């Protein structure tokens, strides 16, 4: 059973339950009101009969058919008197004898004026509601009965009407529930079709039915955004695989060539052997570095680090110290005391990648790291960055024409961009006045801690 049918049945059930409840309560209220009116009428009429007004029992002239009962249909009442000694005398009304019990004789013999009791009895095919009213000690009592078949008939018609109305309400509620469920589930059905298409692997030609401010509309909008990100992620994955295959082809080709040369290792001169082994060692290291950066970029392991309060100056100094040991280059750090709520290892990796990139492209001269107000920039005196490369320098595997002969994977600055974006910032690359380049990133202003003092700079 689909959701539309379930909602229709639920609406029908609620409507039927409400109609039945209202019907039962209405029937009970009507029944109690009719019974109360009968009892009040009996009590009032019995007082008039006791006072001698027997005309209330006189039949009204009616036209009787051949199938009518012997009693007068226009006069549904019957009355009789009970003497103090228990004797019974008919007063008027229908020729029906009312039963006299011990309680009735007690009221006739010793009952106080106005004492009464109600009771029910059946005579032939007719049901009666009766009352016995005491006239005072030693004065007897009056019994009065009234035919309640007409009242029962009215209640029966009321019950039939309530049943009919309940059935009508059930049908209307079912129809309204089905229409409303159809309206509600229309977008859900289309959204379900979309999810089934996505589960089959289709992402590019899938259109999500968005619109509306209710929960379904919000779900569709969120799902559309999720599909967009999923499609972008798959496109990035495809590009990453293609670029990685392209970049891996060069060191693998070189290693394959060197491997074929190693088959003639004994024929080589000592100098050729040394060059060959150095080439194999260099290509192996380059391939290992490329694989490591591919894994880190694909798995984004740095995102698993818990954010903490850190000073960017300490991050820059740690990264500079590591690159100094590797390259034996002069690296200076100029930083203020700005602090951020971020991932220390990821930010340190970003600064290290910037420094290694500067050391590689600027073999001479010092490299500077400047940190001010959440902005980290690395300055060198290398050849600089061409205008056509400035907009692509942070793309994966992008290699400028002047860098194709240099070692590197082309992923270091792409990792810097991802880390900067993860910290709500951006990356930048621009020429340095006097020659060289300025490359760096910023941290989002919402991550800067209020107790930092960007104006104070340590050299």
Contact 334, 370 (CB under 8 A): yes
| Mean pLDDT lowest among 59-73, 82-96, 185-199, 393-407 | 59-73
| Mean pLDDT lowest among 23-37, 139-153, 245-259 | 245-259
Predicted confidence at residue 229, as pLDDT, reads 75
* Of residues 5 and 416, more confidently modeled: 416
pLDDT, one tens digit per residue, over 207-250 is 666 666 667 677 777 777 777 777 777 777 776 676 666 556 65
Q: According to DSSP H, which parts of 137-212 are helical? A: 149-199
- Helix or strand run (H / E) with residue 274: helix 270-299
SS3 category, 99: coil
* Of residues 359 and 450, more confidently modeled: 359
pLDDT, one tens digit per residue, over 129-140 is 888 998 888 888
Predicted confidence at residue 294, as pLDDT, reads 67
pLDDT, one tens digit per residue, over 82-139 is 888 888 888 878 888 888 888 888 888 888 888 899 888 888 788 888 889 988 888 8
Instruction: Give the mean pLDDT of 5-24.
Output: 80
Give whole-number Cα distances, 69 to 60, 95, 126, 127, 444, in Å. 15, 12, 11, 14, 100
Q: Is the pLDDT of residue 440 over 90?
A: yes
Q: Is the pLDDT of residue 456 over 60?
A: no
pLDDT, one tens digit per residue, over 294-330 is 666 666 555 567 888 999 999 999 999 988 887 888 8
Angle between helices 412-422 and 270-299 (to 10 degrees): 20
pTM: 0.45
- Give the whole-angstrom CA distance, residue 9 versus residue 303: 49
Predicted confidence at residue 438, as pLDDT, reads 92
pLDDT over 90, % of the chain: 10
pLDDT, one tens digit per residue, over 341-366 is 998 888 988 898 899 888 888 877 88
């Amino acid at each position: 059973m689909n959701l539309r049918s379930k909602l229709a049945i639920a609406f029908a059930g609620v409507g039927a339950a409400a109609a039945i409840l209202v019907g039962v309560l209405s029937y009970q209220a009507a029944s109690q009101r009719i019974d109360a009116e009968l009892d009040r009428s009996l009590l009032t009429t019995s007082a008039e009969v006791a006072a001698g007004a027997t005309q209330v029992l006189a039949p009204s002239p009616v036209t009787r058919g051949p199938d009518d009962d012997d009693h007068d249909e226009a006069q549904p009442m019957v009355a009789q008197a009970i003497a103090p000694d228990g004797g019974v005398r008919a007063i008027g009304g229908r020729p029906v004898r009312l039963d006299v019990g011990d309680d009735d004789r007690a009221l006739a013999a010793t009952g106080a004026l106005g004492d009464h009791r109600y009771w029910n009895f059946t005579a032939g095919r007719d049901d009666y509601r009766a009352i016995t009213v005491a006239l005072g000690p030693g004065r007897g009592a009056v019994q009065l009965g009234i035919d309640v078949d007409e009242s029962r008939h009215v209640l029966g018609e009321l019950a039939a009407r309530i049943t009919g109305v309940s059935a009508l309400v059930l049908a209307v509620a079912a129809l309204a529930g089905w229409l409303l469920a159809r309206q509600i589930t229309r977008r859900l059905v289309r959204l379900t079709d979309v999810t089934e298409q996505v589960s089959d692997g289709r992402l590019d030609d899938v259109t999500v039915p968005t619109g509306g401010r209710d929960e379904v509309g919000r779900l569709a909008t969120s799902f559309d955004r999720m599909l967009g990100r999923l499609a972008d992620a798959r496109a990035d994955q495809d590009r990453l695989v293609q670029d990685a295959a392209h970049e891996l082809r060069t060191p693998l080709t070189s290693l394959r060539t060197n491997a074929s040369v190693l088959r003639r290792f004994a024929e080589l001169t000592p100098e050729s052997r040394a060059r060959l082994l150095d080439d194999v060692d260099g290509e192996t290291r380059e391939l290992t570095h490329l694989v490591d950066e591919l894994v880190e970029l694909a798995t984004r392991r740095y995102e698993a680090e818990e954010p903490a309060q850190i000073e960017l100056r300490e991050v820059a100094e740690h990264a500079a110290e590591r690159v100094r040991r590797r390259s034996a280059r002069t690296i200076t750090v100029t930083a203020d005391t700005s602090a951020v709520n971020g991932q220390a290892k990821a930010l340190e990796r970003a600064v290290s990648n910037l420094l290694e990139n500067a050391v590689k492209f600027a073999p001479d001269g010092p490299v500077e790291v400047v940190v001010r107000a959440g902005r980290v920039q690395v300055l060198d005196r290398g050849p600089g960055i061409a205008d056509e490369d400035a907009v692509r320098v942070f793309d994966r595997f992008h290699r400028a024409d002047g860098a194709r002969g240099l070692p590197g994977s082309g992923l270091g600055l792409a990792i810097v961009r991802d880390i900067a974006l993860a910290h709500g910032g951006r990356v930048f690359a621009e020429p340095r006045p006097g020659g060289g380049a300025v490359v760096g990133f910023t941290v989002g202003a919402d991550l800067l801690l209020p107790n930092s003092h960007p104006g104070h700079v340590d050299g």
